[in-house]
Structure 1
Amino acid sequence: MSRTLSRLPALVLVILLSGCGIFGKEIDLTEGWSAERLYAAASSELDSGNYQRAIEYYEKLEARFPFGRYAMQSQLDIAYAHYRADEPEAAIAAADRFIKLYPQNPYVDYAYYLKGLVNYNRSVGFLDRYIPTDPSQRDPGSALDAFVDFSILVERFPDSRYSEDARQRMLYLRNNLAKHEVNVARYYMRRGAYVAAANRATYVIERFQRTSAVESALEILVDAYRALDKPELAADAQRVLDLNREAGRFIADQPQPGDVSLARRLWDYLSLDEN
Structure 2
Amino acid sequence: MRIDAHHHLWTADYAWLAEPGLEPLRRDYTAADLAAHLDADGVDATVLVEAGRCELAETYAFLALAAATPRIAGVVGWVSFTDPDLPATLSALRAAPGGERLVGVRDQVQGRPDPGFLDRPEVRACLAAAGAAGLAVDLVVRLDQLPACARAARDLPGTRFVLDHLGKPRISAEGLTAWRAAVAPLAACPNAAVKLSGLLTEAGPEWTVERIAPFAAAALELFGADRVMLGSDWPVCELAAPYAETVAALAASLPPLSAAEHAAVSAGTAISIYRLEVPR
The normalised TM-score by structure 2 is 0.28
- Which one has a larger percent strand, Structure 1 or Structure 2? 2
- Which one has a larger percent helix, Structure 1 or Structure 2? 1
